[in-house]
Structure 1
Amino acid sequence: MGRSVCIIGTCGYPSYYGGFETLVRQLAPYLVDHGWRVVVYGRPADVDQHDPERDPRVEAVMTRGLDRKSFSTITYGFTSAVHASVRVRPDVALVMNVANGFWLPMLRSCGIPTIVNVDGVEWEREKWGTVARSVFRAGASATARHATELVYDSTALAQRWSAMSGRDGTYIPYGGVFRTKGPAPSWRRRRTGAPPRPTGRRGTRGPPQPFRPRLVVT
């Protein structure tokens, strides 16, 4: 029987909310092709289970949480971590967003190693209020303390986290799918009516790289 991974902390599969979701749409089928059982946790309101581009081999599990700006990530992360710990018991958990660092001890207590994708320094972003910033900072501290492995999407971020927490990690740049001709993907036409732009996420990390996962879990 192949290995298994639970992906926690995104809006789900398939979802088109942001960079994490773009990663999952590429990574989940890739892992299935290479013999993994892939379980992706999500939020019912953000996932289109009837998407024609959905890979049916990827298991999409919807959990409950609070659909509020400051609490959605940690509440959905909590219910996802509980389900993964009790019902799935995967070989590894890929956790997106350091706010979910609170739930890493739960996964570790069940013998589940964790890879956490560190994406920015959320507690310094102006869009968050005082409470949300405190939650992100505390979650980041828990991530630094309890994560088995950290993944950074920029070298500058890796250096910043190393200075703050003393934790090194693996640098994997954001990727993208290059298209030179043909119609835009159906999800892009459906949402914007425009072809996708070949730029890096938020335009801050350079041009997209071909999708090529480099972190190997043994």
Structure 2
Amino acid sequence: MPIEIQPASGVQLDLEYEQTVTSALYRDADLSGTVAGAVEFLQCRFEKASLAGSHLAQVRFIDCVADVADFSNLRGERGVLERVGVTGSRMTGLAWNDGLLSDVTFADCKVDLTNWRFARFDVVTFTDCNLAGADFTHADLRGASFTRCDLSRAQFHNATMEGARFRSCELQGIGGLTSWAGAIVHPDDLLALSYALAGALGITVSDKDR
């Protein structure tokens, strides 16, 4: 991020197709419901800003920071997140299908019911995040790491998982366990994972004799 960054103004608050915004501070900015394609944000900061319910196909966030922002129900199919840090933000229902994430961190974020189908994760970390019900179908998660995250009911059908890391995560009710070949799971998570695997195989776990 640049040392000095100016508040967004004028056309930076009225996004248009193929617009590029450089070094702008979106503080308390309400951009909810915006519709524009191929918008590019370079070295921008989002503080308590809202892009909720926006449709920004092929949007690109590069060298950006989001702090306590609202990206809920944002549709960014084929979008790019590159060298981005997201903290304390709400992203419920975000759709980033067929997108790319490279060198991205999510910390203490609400990322539940999100759509990451066919997305590629390259050096991406989720820490203390709620990812309940997230859909990673056909996603390439080889560069993803999840620590203390709620992944209950998340779907991993046909995902590429070799090298993906999980530690101290909630894994109840996850789907697509047959795609977990090559994933790296901390010993603390093995019990929860074994119950999920048993459920996927139709095995009933019971301590009763009959």
Same fold per superposition (TM over 0.5):
no
Higher strand share: 2
| Bigger radius of gyration among the two | 2
Structure number with greater CO (CA < 8 Å, separation at least 6) is 1
Higher helix share: 1
Q: TM-score, normalised by structure 1?
A: 0.26
Q: TM-score, normalised by structure 2?
A: 0.27
